[in-house]
Structure 1
Amino acid sequence: MTTSTAALSSGNLAVVTGAAGGIGLAAARAFHAQGLRVCLVDLAGEALDRAAAELGDGATACPCDVADAAQVAALANRVAADHGPVSVLMNNAGIGAGGDVFARGDVWRQVIGVNLFGVLNGVQSFVPAMIAHDAPALVINTGSKQGITQPPGNTAYNVSKSGVKALTEGLAHTLREQTGDRVTAHLLIPGYTFTGMTARGATDKPDGAWTGEEVVDRMLAGVAAGDFYILCQDNETTLEQDRRRIRWAADDVAENRPALSRWHPDWADHFAAHMAE
């Protein structure tokens, strides 16, 4: 058993943000099914109460706005007092609304506040105690392929998820320096997933999308394998396509190509050839 999978042992405690629906709820269900106690963190409301009631014994609804550092710090203190040490922290809460560079400043602040500072608040409030507890523990932060390949149209979201990637990479290094492999960090990188955030009012899952449960299955397999980058596919994108798109994005810098050359008309044929190789 690896230290990461040891953290997932029955009886341990998991804290999941954004747990009222989507990937967060799927993760809470999976952890609970493995015998973990689960604190489901989300904004107060029926969805959160319903999610905790569905899981039943061992599940606790914890209303909190993750963008508010004081609320998250208070939550961490409350969880420690009421439930004991945290073995699994999944910073998953996120919103998809945003816009391009010229979107309103308040929209940008909301997206960055939830998607990036929500993760930072979770890390800073919970992880020091996980380190001090001297037991196996793991942190999973939910990123996005958009934080790597930067498709145009929702720059605010891309920036927030780019920040999550950099934050989690830095966290992994710090944890390795301080704990060896006892406390580990992992970056979950979902593909096209059918959730409340992506559904936009639709009730039927598109054929191309994965479910939240499929993402969580991939996540757990990645944790068990010791992966840092847990790259998820979907039903319309293969692993090889993902790899080629990621390499192309990195080569924009290495080859000094125009920004986002994948979508630049002068580079369309070059990108098509790259994908066809």
Structure 2
Amino acid sequence: MSHPALSAGSVAVVTGGASGIGLAAATAFARLGMRICIVDLGEDRLAEAAGKIAGVARGGRDDVMTAAVDVSDVAAMTRLAADVQARFGGCDVLVNNAGIQVPTSALGPRENWERLLGVNLWGIVNGCQAFAANMIARKRPGLIINTGSKQGITTPPGNPAYNVSKAGVKAYTEALAHELRNTEDCQISAHLLIPGFVFTPLAAGGRSEKPDAAWTAEQTVDFMMQRLEAGDFYILCPDNDVPRALDERRMLWAIGDVVENRPALSRWHPDYAEAFAEFVKHK
């Protein structure tokens, strides 16, 4: 049985909905007969995405709302929640998926840190705080799905601001799930989507063709829907290169740095290369 919120007549709000995982999720929801609000930047991008979603929506374009909103702007997100309330009567499924990648190092540049954290972390907090209260008050089954990342768990070298943002999303969504399940008469559950390597504009890196190792956004959403049916909080997605078993070993090694008092990010430390290689061989 699918989740009761994923049914005809329900309303889904999807940030980052004009492309990638967001567009794939919005399209999948529309095929179920749900009404959709996609949130993104760029009127042309939103219009193109809305046309694609309307093509499968039961009510056509009448079932699709677009909103050009910067998710890092809390006032704009509050207005968005009111606009969705006015158009569709409220929200049943909130997918906080908007995300960006800009280069950072541990020492800067500060403007990139602020921009990235504003979208990837504050965007999710803003979305939840703008929508959750009314979702709870509707006393209907609902879902809040926040897009995290494996980089927020294993925190590899390369872009520390991105890692910090996604580690924050994990911690925030865990706290949100705990609060929701301890709220009286609340039928809303929170879930952390942890994609693998997905061929989206964010991850394409200038490539025009999908690498063999990557999943499509549609594959990722299909997997998400299956795991929502199963009631998973951590929706840990594999891809064509990394199976779940390898993800598990990498994550266990990462927390092992704390438990074993190894150097930070020992997985990438030359003195631990042989030990890590041996560790991932065993379940």
Normalised-by-shorter TM-score class:
over 0.9
The one-character-per-residue Cα deviations of 1:141-188 (angstroms, maximum 9, x if unpaired) are 000000000110110100000000000000000000004772100000
TM-score, scaled to structure 2:
0.95
How far off its partner does 1:45 sit?
A: 2.4
Whether the aligned pair in 1 keeps the contact of 2:139 and 2:185 (CA below 8 Å) is no
Whether the aligned pair in 1 keeps the contact of 2:97 and 2:147 (CA below 8 Å) is yes
Match for 1:90: what amino acid? V
Whether the aligned pair in 2 keeps the contact of 1:16 and 1:91 (CA below 8 Å) is yes
Partner of 2:272: 267
Closer/same/farther in 2, CA of residues 161 and 180 from structure 1, 3 Å limit? farther
Partner of 1:60: 65
How far off its partner does 1:60 sit?
A: 1.3
Whether the aligned pair in 1 keeps the contact of 2:77 and 2:126 (CA below 8 Å) is yes
Partner of 1:47: 45
Consecutive unaligned residues in structure 1, runs of 5 or more: none
**Aligned counterpart for 1:9 among listed residues 7, 10, 14:** 7
2-side partners of 1:90 and 1:71: how far apart? Answer: 17
Pick which of 212-221 and 40-49 moved more: 40-49
* 1:150 partnered with 2:155: yes
1-side partners of 2:200 and 2:112: how far apart? Answer: 21
The one-character-per-residue Cα deviations of 1:227-250 (angstroms, maximum 9, x if unpaired) are 000000111101100010010011
The one-character-per-residue Cα deviations of 1:24-56 (angstroms, maximum 9, x if unpaired) are 000000000111000000013211110012222
**Aligned counterpart for 1:118 among listed residues 110, 118, 123:** 123
1-side partners of 2:184 and 2:197: how far apart? Answer: 34
Match for 1:131: what amino acid? I
Match for 1:237: what amino acid? V
TM-score, scaled to structure 1:
0.97
* 1:141 partnered with 2:146: yes
* 1:195 partnered with 2:200: yes
Whether the aligned pair in 2 keeps the contact of 1:14 and 1:87 (CA below 8 Å) is yes
- RMSD, matched Cα: 1.1
**Aligned counterpart for 2:189 among listed residues 184, 199, 217:** 184
Q: Give runs of ≥4 in structure 1 deviating > 4 Å.
A: none
2-side partners of 1:245 and 1:238: how far apart? Answer: 11
- Number of residue pairs matched by the alignment: 275
How far off its partner does 1:96 sit?
A: 1.5
Give the 3-state SS of the residue equivalent to 1:174 in structure 2: helix
2-side partners of 1:176 and 1:187: how far apart? Answer: 15
Whether the aligned pair in 2 keeps the contact of 1:131 and 1:179 (CA below 8 Å) is no
How far off its partner does 1:257 sit?
A: 0.8
Give the 3-state SS of the residue equivalent to 1:135 in structure 2: coil
Consecutive unaligned residues in structure 2, runs of 5 or more: 55-59
Give the 3-state SS of the residue equivalent to 1:273 in structure 2: helix
